[in-house]
Structure 1
Amino acid sequence: MANYKKNSYTYATIVAMGGFVFGIDAALISGTTNYLTEEFSLNELQLGAAVGAAAWGVLLALLFVGYAVNKIGRKRALQISAAVYLISAIGSAFAPNYWTFISARFLGGLAFSSISMASMYIGEIAPPKWRGKLVSMIQINIVVGLSAAYFINYMIQNWANSGAEWVSTLGIDTNTWRWMLGSEIIFALLWFVLLIIIPRSPVWLVLKEKIGEAKDTLRKVIPENEVTNQITEMQESLQTTGGEQSDWEQFKEIFSKPMRITFIIAATLAIAQQATGINAILFYAPTVFEQLGMGTDAAFSQAIWIGVISVIFTVLGLLVVDKIGRRPMILGGMLWIIISLGICFYGFNSATYSLSKENVSELTELPNSERLDVLVDKSYESDIEFKEALSETLGGDDAKKYSSALIQKAANINGLLILIGILSFIAAFQSTIGPVMWVLFSEIFPISNRGIAIPVFVFLTSITSSFVQTFFPWQLENLGIGATLLFYASTVAIGLIILFIYLKETKNLTIEEVQLALAPKKK
């Protein structure tokens, strides 16, 4: 392999490692929800706020990302993000109270903006024919991070229940959730160190009129005979807008008539990607599996399957994104997601819940379990009805604490069908709209405003994600899992219709050619 190819893959791999740290940070919280609820005596909205705090943090960061990447450069901004991840991981693991925990998670959310910076940076150093693969590495790293987090949670959970002396000595059994969250520290530190190796973005160097340095960077990642043409294309693209623009001018350009189609595509993708409910499933994986009637330990082990499927299908998406094309992958993936969520809705909607006398007698861990005798042999048509009956009978605290065990006993549900639906949904997302959105974001914006445009639409993605994460526990408690998943499917269907009309193919096009393809047709 030529040196420039090795360099391109090396730099992209290092930058995309931010996706791995993001995945670790995002999914570790999934194993801590029950512990956090008990530790800080949280209700559903407080738990949602704890899990969603990071997503709200990224909203603040994205207001400044455009300025940061243009002012100090993509590389320096990424290094700052890595440092913030490290500080947040330490703060989350050692948080003495709820508000300190919220603050540390919020701080970590500031670093989530590194995903948009990573896609921007990789898109700027990657040759057009490799751009899809290299930018998709971000998504691969995210899902590998997710998988690692689920495995770490499962491993620590098993240690905590093992009764081993060394576990007690280290406090893993009493501070289980702190060990889960603290495991992120080493990965954040490693990424911070590796970012020293990468060069500064050639696009940013051209923006700053450092042409010599830009050429030096390009020589590391593309053939020598293409360097001059690449520099010329960048300069010509900038000349069409009068050179480097202020942040406000770049922001206004996003809403201009020439960018109308680009705006519609980007906004729809930004909302639809997170409106799938992907982060509700990923960040609350054990909670979701408990709704299938699994116990806590089984739910932790099943969550690992989400990580495995994520890795397999993200790699598959990476292998075909530059062959199949962006449009068929996005549209086909969204249809696949709708069908998968529909399967889950059907499975949950047809479930019933009933406790037998034998079920009640087996609940030895529940104090005064005879309180449940009034519910024996009664059938409930939904999880909401059953949970309401438990709350009236046991009181809110005991109903919440023992709901997993009670659902496991009472559920008459087609768990296999729903499990297939959930894993199919994960496969659809991770192989299509998950990674391909980042590929499109790295392609559809002109050089003149991409420093602002990408963070603006990632902001829209993040605010959608924030609402999904924050309100999922409330939806679960008040609407039920089936209705919640149906809501996600309906939202995705609206996005599918819009993108079917407006989305263009950008495969193998230079950034300049993409702009011509997306320009509104003159009447």
Structure 2
Amino acid sequence: SVAFFSNYLILAWSQSDSAIVAYLKIDIWQWRWMLGLEALPALFYLVGLRFVPESPRWLIMKNRPDEALSVLTLVAGPTQAKIELTAIANSLSNSPSKNTGSDSLGIATLFSPTLHKVLFVGMVVAILQQITGINSVFFYAPMIFEQTGIGTDASFLQAVLVGLTNLFFTILAMLFIDKVGRRPLLLAGVSGIVVCMLMLAYGFDTARYTLPVNALSEFSEKADTLASVAGQTFRSDVAFREAISNSAGAAWYTANEARLIQISVSLNSYLILFGILGFVASFAVSLGPVMWVLFSELFPNHIRALAISVVGLVNSAVSFLVQLVFPWELATIGIAGTFFIYGFFALVGLLLVAKFLPETKGMSLEQLEVELVKS
């Protein structure tokens, strides 16, 4: 949310005549400033890592039980800390790596029959988190809002609302994850994602695009070529883009897309705004934070670090692919079709989560290992 807000301020400042804007070249280096300012929270995060304690399980694995007890005491109190320490030590003493005399296990161990269930659940959640298009919505929020015809400046302002919504509902998830449980939050959140994605698909599918004849004077250099498409109504953004590009050229359309859509589109912009904010809220209260909590609980101690690394890699790979094809999807199948695809994937994920995801609330990692991993 801070990034969205700072980007909006930079965009607003770049259009002012302030001397400091000219001195800092904000009007010329908009994107450089937007990216550069994001180094500050990264720096704070780096400093904050200095105060994060080591995992007690890792400390026990490294034969540092006294330090592990200190960490557990800080978190759970002296009495519960001793109980947890004993349970962790017993769990690690029975782990395959201990029994084989090895400090680490190969990746093949992750695919052993005893881990099939937890690995499958972890993969489903890792893929689902990104295949619903959340990062595409975050990264391309101004572009998406421009498709509603509100203009570039307003689209950046509404992107700020996306960030604030994400922040608020993430805090809400933190407050309720241990009270409500992981499974109910995921089911409710993914259900909301399905509804909001279908809402967005419907909103953009019912949009109509008509270039007004009286707007040709605004594009005087292309007025003659645009006359053939002015006044025509197109049922999709793809058809509208193709017609304008064929008449005036693809490069010209790209340079003037925001203004062309702003004066041509007719849709329910409130429905679109509600759908996007609802999607972000549903994600922030479920898949966003809950996934990482689940990863730390699903996998047994002896394989947890490797397992989280693998499913995290899958999560990042899916995120990369979704963002890579998003502009292509907009240009090829349109924004309505893109959101429908995201909604379909969310529905499939919802069914898989409902069938296979166990509830992990209120159980220690050692209890979960006994429950989920059958030896």
- Would you call these one fold, judging by a TM-score over 0.5? yes
Equivalent pair of 1:326/1:506 in contact (CA under 8 Å): yes
Quick check: 246-255 or 266-275, which moved more? Answer: 246-255
Counterpart-to-counterpart distance in 2, 1:464 and 1:357? 44
Equivalent residue runs for 1:72-471 within 5 Å: 147-244=1-98, 249-363=105-219, 367-471=221-325
In the alignment, the residues of structure 1 paired with residue 178 and residue 47 of structure 2 have an alpha-carbon distance, to the nearest angstrom, of: 31
Q: Deviations over 1:252-286 (max 9, x none)?
A: 23212222221121111011111111011001110
1:21-53, Cα deviation, whole Å (9 max, x unpaired): xxxxxxxxxxxxxxxxxxxxxxxxxxxxxxxxx
Moved over 6 A (4+): none
Q: Which whole-Å CA distance do the structure 2 matches of 1:248 and 1:348 have between them? A: 51
1:336 Cα deviation from its structure 2 partner: 1.3
Structure 1, 208-217 or 502-511: larger mean CA deviation: 208-217
CA-to-partner distance for each residue in 1:203-256, whole Å, 9 max, x for gaps? 211111122222233233221122222221111111222445758725223212
Structure 2: any 5+ residue segments left out of the alignment?
A: none
Give the length in aligned residue pairs.
Answer: 373
Q: Could you tell me which residue of structure 2 aligns to residue 72 of structure 1?
A: none
Contact 1:207 1:243 in 2 (8 A): no
Q: Could you give the per-residue CA deviations for residues 405-428 of structure 1, whole angstroms, max 9, x where no partner exists? A: 101111011111111111111111
**Contact 1:504 1:517 survives alignment (8 Å):** no
* Residue ranges of structure 1 left out of the alignment (5+ in a row): 1-146
| Post-superposition CA distance 1:63-106 (Å, at most 9, x none) | xxxxxxxxxxxxxxxxxxxxxxxxxxxxxxxxxxxxxxxxxxxx
One-letter amino acid matched to 2:251: D
SS state of the match for residue 249, structure 1?
Answer: coil
* Greater C-alpha radius of gyration: 2
Distance 1:267 1:246 in 2: 26
Q: What TM-score results when the alignment is normalised by the length of structure 2? A: 0.95
Q: 1:97-155, CA deviations, whole angstroms, 9 ceiling, x for partnerless residues? A: xxxxxxxxxxxxxxxxxxxxxxxxxxxxxxxxxxxxxxxxxxxxxxxxxx000000000
* Aligned-residue CA RMSD (Å): 1.8
Superposed CA deviations along residues 361-387 of structure 1, whole A, max 9, x for unmatched, are 245xx7444432221111111000001
- What amino acid does structure 2 have at the position aligned with 1:295? G
| Alpha-carbon separation, structure 1, partners of 2:102 and 2:341 | 40
Q: 2:203, 2:108 → 1: CA distance?
A: 47
Q: Shift of residue 298 of structure 1? A: 0.8
Contact persistence 1:247–1:452 (CA under 8 A): no
Aligned-residue offset at 1:440: 0.7
| Counterpart among 354, 357, 371 of residue 503 in structure 1 | 357
